[in-house]
Structure 1
């Protein structure tokens, strides 16, 4: 994770969503070699990847 400033995001999500996030964090932990994996880092990774896909889809629509 870069040294950019970080903000806290407080959201309410369902218990099922938390369970899914915990499973994803466990998966990341088992399949990466970076040490401890945090929920915020996993969420950041998912959002960045989703954003890249969205931008690619938007650019394809404009062609």
Structure 2
């Protein structure tokens, strides 16, 4: 993805959350064949997966009504 399609987010998170992110990044690094894994890549993956789950839940809720 080119830099033109990316934005920088500056956020404050708890140290415990940052430690969990580091652990997740290490896990991705050990279990993927993609080469170097960056925090931004991991966060993107987590957000995309969470968004997909949210959309499925919204669709299920709409069908109920």
TM-score, with length taken from structure 2: 0.92
Deviant stretches of 4+, over 6 Å? none
**Following the alignment from structure 1 to structure 2, what is the Cα–Cα distance between the partners of residues 5 and 62?**
32
Higher relative contact order (CA closer than 8 Å, sequence separation 6+): 1
Aligned residues: 62
**Following the alignment from structure 1 to structure 2, what is the Cα–Cα distance between the partners of residues 57 and 36?**
33
Q: In the alignment, which residue of structure 2 is the partner of 1:20?
A: 20
**Following the alignment from structure 2 to structure 1, what is the Cα–Cα distance between the partners of residues 14 and 56?**
30
Q: Which structure: larger Rg?
A: 2
Cα RMSD of the aligned pairs, angstroms, is 1.0
**Following the alignment from structure 1 to structure 2, what is the Cα–Cα distance between the partners of residues 53 and 15?**
27
TM-score, with length taken from structure 1: 0.94
Return the structure number with greater helix share. 2
**Unaligned 5+ residue runs, structure 1?**
none
